[in-house]
Amino acid sequence: MSQINKACCSIPPVKTDYQPQGRMEKCADMDAYVIGPADSKTVLVCVYDMFGFWDTTKQCADLLSEVMKVKVVMPDLLRGNPWPIDHFPPRNDEEGKKLSEWFSSIASMPERSKDLKNVAADLKEKGAEKLGLYGFCWGGSVASLAGKAGTPYLGVSIIHPPIVAPEDSKELSVPVAFFPSKDEPRDECDKYWDTLKSSHPELIEKSVYHYYGDMFHGFASARANLKDKANYDAAVDVYQRLANFFCYVFK
């Protein structure tokens, strides 16, 4: 499934000005944005980007919930301490130092990926039977780490990750939907996919790779500008591919 030609579940129209429809609940002792049936046996977990909760990211969750008839949970892995969007990229050396410290503490990818095991355990305790995981930017890298051997998730999606390391795909143990942007080097992204194919051929049938060569890093989450037609069209496309991927994984 290197390319998805037909939608198994078409998403509703994406809106440029959107009011999220979800609710805040607790999940694994964290606040979480939740949308969808409370008793859903199938749950998607979203890892937002480094800027935390954002209406664009919530709209994607709402769309996936509506079209797939599942619950989507977006835990506050950063515990109320996202990086300010107007401080990225860092404007001076002091902010650069603070960002580095933030990445090694609050936003530690290995530590936050451990949180996702607790999230999965909590959801299963509440009745979930099938779990999927997707993440944007920083959250995509966290999701990737959570997709290693022993993962409770049936599939993971990585959307415009901050770093692409081809060898990382060797660590995956479940199908992956990999959606990088032009700011992730094409050759490294291709190597990531080729490494997956050679090391885990059994995962390829349900995996998908699409390179958004005309889109910037962050086009589908907090930094998106859905009033720009090209950005809007790309966001619609990636949300549809996410729905298709998880529909297929959950079969």
The domains found in the chain, sorted by start residue, are 17-250 (3.40.50.1820)
Cβ atoms within 10 Å of 20's Cβ, excluding its own: 16
Confidence grade of residue 222 (pLDDT, cut at 50, 70, 90): very high
- Give the three-state DSSP class for 21: coil
Distance CA 24, CA 233 (A): 29
- Give the three-state DSSP class for 54: coil
Preceding omega of 89 cis (within 30 degrees of 0): yes
Q: Closest by alpha carbon to 202, among 179, 177, 172, 180?
A: 172
Compute the average pLDDT of residues 97-101. 97
Compute the average pLDDT of residues 219-241. 97
105-128: pLDDT as tens digits:
999 999 999 999 999 999 999 999
Total-model pTM: 0.96
Q: Closest by alpha carbon to 5, among 194, 198, 208, 191?
A: 208
Distance CA 134, CA 174 (A): 12
Task: Supply the pLDDT for residue 8.
Answer: 63
Residue 62's alpha-carbon distances to 57, 59, 69, 71, 239, in angstroms, are 9, 5, 10, 9, 11
Compute the average pLDDT of residues 138-166. 96
Q: Residue 71 is encoded by which pair of tokens?
A: 């619950």
Compute the average pLDDT of residues 208-234. 98
- The bridge status of strand 156-159 relative to strand 130-136 is parallel
Q: Is the pLDDT of residue 2 over 80?
A: no
